[in-house]
Chain A
Amino acid sequence: QTVVTQEPSLTVSPGGTVTLTCASSTGAVTSSYYPNWFQQKPGQAPRTLIYSTSNKHSWTPVRFAGSLLGGKAALTLSGVQPEDEAEYYCLLYYGGAQLLFGGGTKLTVL
């Protein structure tokens, strides 16, 4: 059974930089997995930040950047703001329209 793994929790100071990663049990994540990244705050629906590894939507703040890093998909937040405290999920595509979410990373801004 394929598993997508994210850090369960991370803490960052305001103004700092943090990188969240997304790994696949099948091996290295490549652009063919079309990684998506989503932000979810308590009681709210998810909001899409990144699609296809590094592409931003019109509403995605500039401080969010997607990439591939060491065989994983990565989401880097630079100049973290208090409002960035949230749960972050990655989504990977395995072909045949099979999609898997990671377990999520709870980001604390402290």
Chain B
Amino acid sequence: EVQLVESGGGLVQPGGSLRLSCAASGFTFSNNAMSWVRQAPGKGLEWVSAISGSGGSKHYADSVKGRFTMSRDNSKNTMYLQMNSLRVEDSAVYYCAKSTGSESFYKVDYWGQGTLVTVSS
């Protein structure tokens, strides 16, 4: 059974940093691209970033480019999102999502349950 479990969310002040993790199980982690998607309270979904199965390709939404860094450790079946220079508008539930292939960012199948990030003073 595929499982994606996010962790690392919490309350942080504007300008601060936070690192989210997504622990994966139930599939061969290195064979699949992964993404982060966020949802602000009461709002719609926003794609944040994606990484290929090997970790060699990374892509970011313009809203987080230069501030967020995505990485993965295939030996630990875990993906990360390092978030720096956080803004109030980054407050959201952050979901990790699995794609069906190593480069097929656009074919999403499984989702985690999300972790809440609140940026506030």
Q: Which residue numbers of A lie inside 8 Å of B, CB to CB?
A: 34, 36, 38, 40, 45-48, 51-52, 57, 87, 89, 91, 93, 96-104
- Find chain A residues with CB under 8 A from B35 CB: 99
Do B59 and A97 touch (CB < 8 A)? Answer: yes
Q: A32's closest neighbor in chain B, by CB? A: B106
Given A47, A96, A97, A101, which contacts B44 in the complex, CB threshold below 8 Å?
A101
User: Which residues of chain B are within 8 angstroms of A96 by Cβ–Cβ distance?
Assistant: 59
| Residue of B with least CB distance to A102 | B44
> With A97-B57, A99-B50, A99-B106 in contact, do A46 and B44 touch (Cβ < 8 Å)?
no
- Contact check: which of B57, B106, B113 meets A91 at CB < 8 Å? B106
7 A-B pairs whose Cβ atoms sit less than 8 Å apart in the complex: A36-B108, A38-B108, A45-B112, A97-B57, A99-B50, A101-B44, A101-B46
Q: Please determine whether A48 and B108 come into contact, CB atoms closer than 8 angstroms.
A: yes
CA of A40 to CA of B114, assembled, Å: 13
Distance to closest chain A CB from B57 (angstroms): 7
**Known contacts A103-B44, A104-B44: does B105 contact A93 (CB below 8 Å)?**
yes
Establish whether residues A97 and B107, one from each chain, have CB atoms under 8 Å apart when the complex forms: no
- The reply to whether A51 and B107 form a contact with Cβ atoms under 8 Å apart is yes
* B2 → A minimal CB distance (Å): 11
In this assembly, does B110 line the interface, its C-beta being within 8 Å of a C-beta of chain A? yes
B121 to chain A, nearest CB (A): 27
Partner of A47, one of B50, B100, B111: B111
Q: Do A48 and B110 form a contact, CB below 8 Å, given A91-B47, A101-B44, A101-B45? A: yes
- Quick check: A45 and B105 within 8 Å, CB to CB? no
Q: Mark B90-121, 1 if CB is under 8 A from A, else 0.
A: 00000100001000011111111110000000
In the bound complex, CA of A38 to CA of B95 (Å): 13
| Residue pair A52, B95 in contact (C-beta under 8 Å) | no
Contacts of A40 in B (CB 8 A): 45
